[in-house]
Amino acid sequence: MGTLGRAIYTVGNWIRGTGQAMDRLGSTIQGGLRVDEQLSRHRTIMNIFEKEPRIYKDVFVAPSAAVIGDVEIGHGSSIWYGSILRGDVNSIRIGAGTNIQDNSLVHVSKANISGKVLPTIIGNSVTIGHSAVLHACTVEDEAFVGMGVTLLDGVVVEKHSMVGAGSLVKQNTRIPSGEVWVGNPAKFLRKLTEEEMAFIAQSATNYINLAQVHAAENAKTFDEIELEKMLRKKFAHKDEEYDSMLGVVREIPPELILPDNILPNKAQKAVAH
């Protein structure tokens, strides 16, 4: 560190020290009326009651999510921003290729009105939409739970079934395979079409691919992020006629090329071929 660097570092220390001193002085003046603010260190993965999450190495857990206690998450699954999986008084089991989307809550039951002790079990290739609440229930393989859905204790959502957005499914309800249920309380609406079943499978695959991109982005260092900003500015898209007039040929650097599996146009072409 050169002379200028040392000087800047010293000034920074003075400023930080002055701020801390002013905070202490202000707290003293306020006396008993002051409110002490404690720094909250968010923990994405947390043990509790000697219960430890068991998470497959390629699972994406967003930085603002929380996985707590007796939770097991299988290969290729993803837990998105703001979601909470709280396995404190019972267990949560999530299979492979399942996505728990943003701001969802998954909890369990130690005791309820029916006297049953119920974990939460979510199968393989399941999609749980944004802001869903799952409490001590079972969602079988390749089922679809829409945005804002609430599943109460003892609910079973069978394989290849769908719960429509905003629905509330009452305790101990079983939704049979191949059916769509909606409403508050949720009731049978109709049978799933073949296209909808294919959509459920594709939704899970899409989230596996998208999670890989988010995981890579979250793993980048500050220097890598700054380099990308510079490259994006330098290689910003211009009109083709404008480029041809200038004789400019723009080659996109590899750092800015997105994987084929998250580009819809490329994915469709690959399927067509």
DSSP string, 172-193: T-EE-TTEEEEETTEEEEEEPP
Which pTM value belongs to this model? 0.72
Cα 268 to the center of its chain, rounded Å: 26
Asked whether residue 1 is assigned to any structural domain, the reply reads no
Digit-coded pLDDT (tens) for 181-215: 999 999 999 999 999 999 999 999 999 999 999 99
pLDDT at 266: 46
Asked whether residue 209 is assigned to any structural domain, the reply reads yes
Highest mean pLDDT among 48-57, 84-93, 240-249: 84-93
Asked whether residue 17 is assigned to any structural domain, the reply reads no
Asked whether residue 225 is assigned to any structural domain, the reply reads yes
Digit-coded pLDDT (tens) for 107-127: 998 766 666 779 999 999 999
pLDDT higher than 60, residue 269: no
Q: What is the DSSP letter of 23?
A: H
Q: How many domains does the chain have?
A: 1
Asked whether residue 169 is assigned to any structural domain, the reply reads yes
The enclosing domain of 185 has a CATH number of 2.160.10.10
* Amino acid, res. 185: P
- Local confidence band at 151 (pLDDT 50, 70, 90 cut-offs): very high
pLDDT higher than 60, residue 76: yes
Quote the strand ranges of the chain, DSSP E: 45-46, 54-55, 60-61, 66-73, 78-79, 84-94, 99-100, 105-107, 120-122, 127-128, 133-135, 138-139, 144-145, 150-151, 156-157, 162-163, 168-169, 174-175, 179-183, 186-191
pLDDT at 267: 43
Which 3 state secondary structure label does DSSP give 163?
A: strand
Sign of the Cα torsion 260, 265, 267, 273 reads: negative
pLDDT at 183: 96
Higher pLDDT, 239 or 52: 52
Identify the domain containing residue 135 by its residue range.
40-248+255-263
Instruction: Specify the long-range contacts of residues 214-217, CB closer than 8 Å, at least 24 apart.
Output: 214/60, 214/62, 214/78, 215/60
Asked whether residue 4 is assigned to any structural domain, the reply reads no
Asked whether residue 139 is assigned to any structural domain, the reply reads yes
Asked whether residue 19 is assigned to any structural domain, the reply reads no
